[in-house]
Chain A
Amino acid sequence: KAGVTQTPRYLIKTRGQQVTLSCSPISGHRSVSWYQQTPGQGLQFLFEYFSETQRNKGNFPGRFSGRQFSNSRSEMNVSTLELGDSALYLCASSLVRGGDTQYFGPGTRLTVL
């Protein structure tokens, strides 16, 4: 069974631009969570989607948004990029939501110049 895939793997943007990241979960997994990892803050929860609905949201500004499609694939969008948005963005999928075992993708490394 294929693992979690994320595209693109690397991305360079400039301040003020917007970006869309994509995540394809393991086949059959209905929950997709997104995380931001930075050297200063470590891993932080962004949001969780289950059955096309956002179930949980972390403490991030409204510039960060996401959605999930009927095939469980998910996208996250960051608008009006800031330098501090430079980070590794990870998605993880699980069979069910909540505290189930999470399977992580390789991440998208976003650099904002």
Chain B
Amino acid sequence: KNEVEQSPQNLTAQEGEFITINCSYSVGISALHWLQQHPGGGIVSLFMLSSGKKKHGRLIATINIQEKHSSLHITASHPRDSAVYICAAATGGGADGLTFGKGTHLIIQP
């Protein structure tokens, strides 16, 4: 069974700071997803990656397959980035579907 651990659980930062959220998983995966959930419940898929690095605007996601670790970075953070960020591991169509981390609650203060 895949275990997905996220850190930190909670993070409060000032506007403009560089943010890093970490995700570790225990077994081999086919892909790692990063999701963003705003108050009210809506979830948006930010990235899906299986190797290397992806960038979208101020968001960067990296994954190290050998170390079973992924990071989500936010550059020049803004209060609108305040949300819960969740990583999820896909085991390639196995019986477990997506396994989710507990999420990181990020607050960016102006």
Chain A contacts to B: CB under 8 angstroms: 33, 35, 37, 42-45, 47-48, 55-58, 88, 90, 92, 97-104, 106-107, 109
Chain B contacts to A: CB under 8 angstroms: 29-31, 33, 35, 41-45, 48, 50, 86, 88, 90, 92-103
Which of B41, B48, B99 is the one whose CB lies under 8 Å from A45?
A: B99
Instruction: Give the residues in chain B near A33, CB-CB below 8 Å.
Output: 97-98
Contact A58 B97 (CB under 8 A): yes
Q: Would you mind naming 26 contact pairs between A and B with Cβ atoms under 8 Å apart? A: A33-B98, A42-B100, A42-B101, A42-B102, A43-B100, A45-B100, A47-B97, A56-B93, A56-B95, A56-B97, A57-B95, A58-B97, A88-B41, A90-B41, A97-B93, A98-B90, A98-B93, A99-B29, A99-B30, A99-B92, A101-B45, A104-B45, A106-B41, A107-B41, A107-B42, A109-B41
| Cα separation A90 to B90 with both chains bound (whole Å) | 17
| Cα separation A98 to B103 with both chains bound (whole Å) | 21
Contact B98 A45 (CB under 8 A): yes
Q: How far is the CB of B18 from chain A (nearest CB, A)?
A: 26
Contact B88 A43 (CB under 8 A): yes
Contact B45 A103 (CB under 8 A): yes
Instruction: Give the residues in chain B near A37, CB-CB below 8 Å.
Output: 41
Which partner residue on chain A sits nearest B40 by CB separation? A106
Which partner residue on chain B sits nearest A44 by CB separation? B100
Which of B30, B96, B103 is the one whose CB lies under 8 Å from A56?
A: B96
| Cα separation A57 to B86 with both chains bound (whole Å) | 21
| Cα separation A107 to B31 with both chains bound (whole Å) | 24
Contact A43 B86 (CB under 8 A): yes
Which of B41, B48, B102 is the one whose CB lies under 8 Å from A100?
A: B48
Q: How far is the CB of A30 from chain B (nearest CB, A)?
A: 14
In the complex, which of the residues A42, A48, A97 has the most CB atoms of chain B within 10 Å of its own CB atom? A42
